[in-house]
Amino acid sequence: MDGQPNGNDLTLGTPEDVMRDALQSRVRVFRHDPALVLDFDNGQFNQHMVSDDQARQVTVEATETAAAEFGKTLQTAGRQIVRTSITVDTGYGDAIGVMRQAIVEGAV
């Protein structure tokens, strides 16, 4: 789903959907591929990126977007959680957990 509920969609949106949407949108921009769909069960950053730097930068920016959806601003502590937790071999599903932790512990 696209995260935002619409009138005909009876499924409740969840906070994870916000974070998944933010990460998917950012990876789409990074890859210049608007049709890219991330596999949050088995997919990994190394399918689309080559370095830890790239994976971390994309995740930091996606986390900022998600934090803004919750009315929060990501701080340096939150960015550091992402930069020290994400590698190019991290799974997209695990990245959602890291984003979540960054928002919980590093956003106000």
Partner 1 sequence: MNPRMILRLATLAQLIVPLTLILMESPARSQELFSAKMIAPQRIEAEVSAPFGPYNTNVDAPEISVFEIINSGQTTKTVERPLSHVNKQVTNNHLVVTFDVPAANKDFDHYEVQVRNYKTADDPLTFRGAVYSITVSITSASDKKLSLIIRGLNTTDWQRIRKWIAEVAASGPTVTVDLGAAGTRTLKVTNASYIEMRPDCFPLELGQRYGECILGANLALDDRLPVGIPGTVKLSFPATAFDPQLADNLPLELVKNGVTGKISITPLGAAQDRDPIRTNVIEAGGSFNTSIKLDADPATNKKPDRENQATADLRLASKSVTFADKTRSFWTWTAAQLDAQVSSGKITIDSLSTNTLRGFTQIQHVRAIERKEGIDFFRFVGEGGAAADRDLRVIEYTGLGDLRYNPAILNRVLDRDPLPDHAKRIIVELTPFGFEVGHRQVRRDPLFASDDFIRRFRAAAKLQLDLPPHFQFAIENRCWWRGEVEKDRFRNYFTTSFTIVPGKLSTNSSLGIVLSYDRGSLPPFSTPRESAFKIGLRFRRKEW
Interacting residues toward partner 1 by CB under 8 A? 4-8, 10-18, 29-32, 39, 42-44, 46-54, 56-58, 60-61, 64, 69-70, 72, 76, 79-80, 83-84, 87-91, 94, 97-98, 100-101, 103-105
- Answer for the pair 75, 107: CB distance below 8 angstroms, yes or no: yes
Q: How far apart are CA 29 and CA 2, in angstroms?
A: 16
In the complex, minimum distance from the CB of residue 64 to partner 1, in angstroms, rounded to a whole number? 6
Closer to partner 1 by CB, 23 or 30: give it. 30
CB 37, min distance to partner 1, A: 10
Residue 81 CB, nearest approach to partner 1 (Å):
10
User: What does the alpha-carbon distance between residue 53 and residue 98 come to, in Å, rounded to a whole number?
Assistant: 16
Q: Which residues contact 25 (CB under 8 A, 6 or more apart)?
A: 62, 65
Nearer to partner 1 by Cβ, of 7 and 34: the residue is 7
Closest separation in Å from C-beta 43 to partner 1: 6
Amino acid (one-letter) located at 88: V
Name the 3-class secondary structure at 39. Answer: coil
